[in-house]
Amino acid sequence: VGRCFGDLKNRLFVFLGKFSFKFRSCLSLFIEMDRSTSAKGGRSKVPNESVHVIVRCRPISQKEKAEKNEIVTTIYPNRGVVEIASSENKENRKVFTYDAVYDHNANQKTVYTEVVRPLVTSVLDGFNGCIFAYGQTGTGKTYTMEGTPSSEEQMGIIPRTFEQIWSHIDRTRNSNFLVEVSYLEIYMEELRDLLQPGTKSLELREKEKVGVVVPNLHSVCCKSAEDMLRVMVQGNKNRTVGFTNMNEHSSRSHAIFIIKIEMCDVETNIIKVGKLNLIDLAGSERQSKTGATADRLKEASKINLALSSLGNVISALAEDSPHVPYRDSKLTRLLQDSLGGNSKTIMVANIGPSVLNYNETLTTLRYASRAKKIQNKPIKNEDPQDAKLKEYQEEIQRLKNLLAQRHTTERVSSAMSTSRLKKPRKQRSEITVEDIEGDTCEEEEPQFVKEDAKTKEELEREKKTTAELASSSVS
Ligand SMILES: Nc1ncnc2c1ncn2[C@@H]1O[C@H](COP(=O)(O)OP(=O)(O)O)[C@@H](O)[C@H]1O
Ligand SMILES: [Mg+2]
């Protein structure tokens, strides 16, 4: 019984030992799994960043002045506050606060330096950026985004980004850059390529790890700020093709200028990609004001579709809703990353000061206020798979290898042929230093042979003289 009990006890210990080993392995496996999931969840640790919202109020127009229209907006640039109130509706005074507000005194340079410059600096560090101008027609969206590119003072955001990008490239050492631009517009829910106006309507595609892309969109490689400006001007010209009233058309379509900058550090070979979307949206005025013809109504409803779905997306994001209706319009699909995704985004809300625009201004201010709540997660785009510079680097390496291979084969075959056949001297002048060095050994041989022959002759002559001397001495 004792032996039996002892045996049982031993087996129990062995079993418990095995169990505890398994338990410990399971435990460590769980710990490992936990560690790896928290590492993968790195993206969730990327700090959120709100959409920056600024409001810009244009000066009163000549017409408004002539008509003595009441001014309903008061701007407090130092506090970032806009107040709206009409004499009719004094108790109904509304106050809104934004990241920055600008009145008619703010010039183009100030807006750029204070708001846009830091964003473009981030794009040049590999982040995605987006700036869009929202507001009623005639409030200064195009003035803010483009302005007058030929005037240093009146130049808007887009041409100023060209200057910033190229002054950065010109002073950066040890990096290669590739700058490409595309320009498209969304009109009546159709995408038009403004750099290749003949092409059919473009489509949107979802690309894994990249986001929403426009597959056949033409892109132009630029080598200077002037190049980029030329592309922008050409795109604007193409915008008018087929439309009788340019101003009306441009206020009804959304224009999207895209800049993609690839940067490669020559020492580390790390590639970064920054993408900047610059958007001049269609006028946000309501349908009632846009006219009554059937075509106009259809057009307006499609413009409004994009803008209203943009409004819905902004509201859903602001309320942290589980469903964000990006898919409702092409504009919101294109802006998917810029709103609630991987991007640093600035919204410029343009307003007018007059009482005539009271309702539209109030709507714009509310819209802009909601957009402030949107949280983005900008991540630096390092070593992306689709970088063209990477493709070019690999191609250059492949060609280098091919050249090196060809060079060795040529050397081997030339060495073989020279050992069999002596090439004429003229041909060899084109070849490299090593080939010429190889030739010197070849030249030594006939020289040596000649000298050798000469020595033999002398030897013979000496032998002869010695023999003669010997015979004469004997005799
Ligand atoms: N901040 C501003 N300073 C001076 N003029 C402005 C300003 N904003 C707009 N304007 C002028 O107001 C008019 C309408 O502006 P525009 O940019 O065409 O409006 P939108 O593109 O919103 O329809 C233009 O003549 C423009 O030069
Ligand atoms: Mg405009």
Q: How confident is the model at residue 385, as a pLDDT?
A: 72
Ramachandran bin of 140, using left for φ above 0, alpha for ψ from -120 to 50, beta for the remaining angles: left
Pick from 24-28, 271-275, 365-369, 380-384: least confident:
24-28
**Ligand 1 atom with the shortest distance to the CA of 61:** 12
Q: What is the pLDDT of residues 101-129, one digit of tens each?
A: 999 999 999 999 999 999 999 999 999 99
Q: Is 6 annotated as a binding residue?
A: no
Q: Which two tokens stand for residue 284?
A: 């946000």
Distance 250 CA to ligand 2 centre (A): 6
Distance 141 CA to ligand 1 centre (A): 7
Tell me how far CA of residue 91 lies from CA of 86, 88, 181, 379, 451, in angstroms: 9, 9, 49, 45, 119
Known binding residue 136? Answer is yes
pLDDT, tens digit, for every residue of 234-256? 999 988 776 767 777 778 899 99
Q: Say yes or no to pLDDT of 6 above 70.
A: no
Q: How would residue 392 be classed by pLDDT, with cut points 50, 70 and 90?
A: confident
Mutate which of 54, 58, 75, 351 to test ligand 1's pocket (most atoms within 8 Å of Cβ)? 58
Predicted confidence band of residue 86 (pLDDT cuts 50, 70, 90): confident
Q: What is the pLDDT of residue 128?
A: 93
Ligand 1 environment, Cβ below 6 A: 58-59, 135, 137-143, 251, 283, 350
Specify whether the CB–CB gap between 74 and 82 falls below 8 A.
Answer: yes
137 is in an annotated binding site: yes
For residue 352, say whether it is annotated as part of any ligand binding site: no
For 261, list phi and psi in degrees, rounded to 5.
-120, 120
189 Cα to the center of ligand 2, angstroms: 18
Domains and CATH numbers, the chain: 46-285+296-386 (3.40.850.10)
Q: Is the pLDDT of residue 444 over 60?
A: no
The stretches of 41-149 forming alpha helices (DSSP H) are 62-66, 108-111, 117-123, 141-145
Atom of ligand 1 nearest to the CA of 57: 1
Min mean pLDDT across 166-170, 278-282, 459-463 is at 459-463
pLDDT at position 5 over 70? no
Instruction: Tell me the pLDDT tens digit for each residue of 407-430.
Output: 888 877 777 766 554 444 443 333
Q: Which ligand is nearest to the CA of 59?
A: 1
Which pLDDT score, from 0 to 100, does residue 350 have?
Answer: 98
Is the pLDDT confidence value at 11 over 50?
yes
Cβ(250)–Cβ(281) below 8 Å? no
CA distance 141 to 403: 54
* pLDDT, tens digit (0-9, with 9 covering 90-100), for 261-313: 999 999 998 999 999 999 999 998 875 444 456 666 666 666 678 888 999 99
- Distance in Å, CA 256 to ligand 1 centroid: 19
What pTM does this model have? 0.75
CA distance 253 to 274: 26
Position 224 pLDDT exceeds 80: yes
Determine if residue 141 is labeled as part of a ligand binding site. yes
Please, what is the average pLDDT of the chain?
Answer: 80
Chain-centre distance of CA 241, in angstroms?
28
Ligand 2 centre to CA of 241 (Å) is 17
Given a contact cutoff of 8 angstroms between Cβ atoms, the answer to whether 314 and 374 are in contact is yes
| Cα–Cα distance for residue pair 257/185, rounded to 1 Å | 9
Nearest ligand, CA of residue 239? 2
**Ligand 1 pocket check: which of 107, 143, 280 to mutate, most ligand atoms within 8 Å of Cβ?**
143
Pairwise pLDDT comparison (434 vs 170), residue with the higher score: 170
Q: How far apart are CA 310 and CA 315, in angstroms?
A: 9
Which ligand 1 atom is at minimum distance from the Cα of 143? 17
Atom of ligand 1 nearest to the CA of 102: 1
What pLDDT, on the 0 to 100 scale, is given for residue 468? 64
Over residues 327-356, the mean pLDDT reads 93
pLDDT for 453: 58
> How far from the centroid of its chain's Cα atoms is residue 158's Cα?
15
Atom of ligand 1 nearest to the CA of 145: 17
The answer to whether residue 182 scores a pLDDT higher than 70 is yes
> How close is the Cα of 228 to the center of ligand 2, in Å?
20
Known binder of ligand: residue 423?
no
- Residue 333 has what pLDDT? 94
Q: Which of 24-28, 353-357, 404-408, 455-459 shows the lowest mean pLDDT across its residues?
A: 24-28
Interval 201-206 mean pLDDT:
88
- Closest ligand (CA of 136): 1
Q: How far is the CA of 450 from the centre of ligand 1 (A)?
A: 94
